[in-house]
Chain A
């Protein structure tokens, strides 16, 4: 497991270096890896797909322009991208506050309470991003357990995998997530 995390860490650092050198393939790879998590976060934070699509492009443009400022010591690329997405989402929400014709009906969309909602969303989507980086056979079992609510015995019956394999993949997926979240902490 330590080896798996170290290997992922090396891959991240290499991708970050390529991004800093503005290699177009690096941006494409970054998008493949993390675009789904940032977009999911943006759709939920902004409440509409069209706005989320615009902001998603802004987030990756910013990552492209500021790639050399990414510091791996401060967290992974997923966390960095989600932080950019958070800032741009809050900008967008602030811009949306309507002209106060009737001040009583004006919703302060970017006050502290809304920021904490945004932060909660961010944590959910960081987990989604980490899940997406797991080996498919592990993320699939976690999906079955935590989304479909299947027990390990039910998963074994549904997939035809031996129960021992289900258990070992389950624990391996949980350990990998734990390691990833520790690196990010």
Chain B
């Protein structure tokens, strides 16, 4: 079964990666899905750690 997330997240072994890429070459739907999600994965991979540890904002003075 084709598994775009495992491929995108780099969790496939060499043989599985090769098989996945062969499947992508003939399956345009699968290829489109991977190409759509790839930039999101890249952006998430580049997020600095502090973005995941966002500080608690202060109370909003306007609404009390």
| Chain A residues at the B interface, C-beta cutoff of 8 Å | 24, 27-28, 31, 35-40, 43-44, 49, 53, 56-57, 60-61, 64, 123-125, 127-128, 142-143, 145-147, 151-153, 167, 170-171, 174-175, 177-178, 181
Contacts and interface: CB of A to CB of B under 8 A. Distances in A.
Interface of B: 3-6, 8-9, 11, 36-37, 39-41, 43-45, 47-52, 54-58, 60-63
Nearest to A143: B52
A20 B37 CA distance: 35
B64 to A, nearest CB: 9
B36 A125 contact: no
Contact of B57 (A28, A39, A127, A175): A39
A64 B62 contact: yes
Given A128-B51, A174-B40, A35 B60 contact: yes
Contacts of B36: 175, 178
Nearest to B63: A28
A24 B63 CA distance: 7
B38 to A, nearest CB: 10
Contacts of A128: 47, 51-52, 54
B5 A60 contact: no
Contacts of B61: 57
Most chain A CB within 10 A, of B8, B11, B43, is at B43
Contacts of A146: 44-45, 47, 52
Contacts of A151: 9, 11
Contacts of B11: 151-153
Given A57-B58, A145-B9, 12 more contacts: A24-B63, A27-B60, A31-B63, A57-B62, A61-B62, A124-B47, A124-B51, A146-B52, A147-B47, A147-B49, A153-B11, A181-B40
A174 B51 CA distance: 17
Contacts of B62: 27, 57, 60-61, 64
A31 B63 CA distance: 10
A152 B48 CA distance: 21
B51 A127 contact: yes
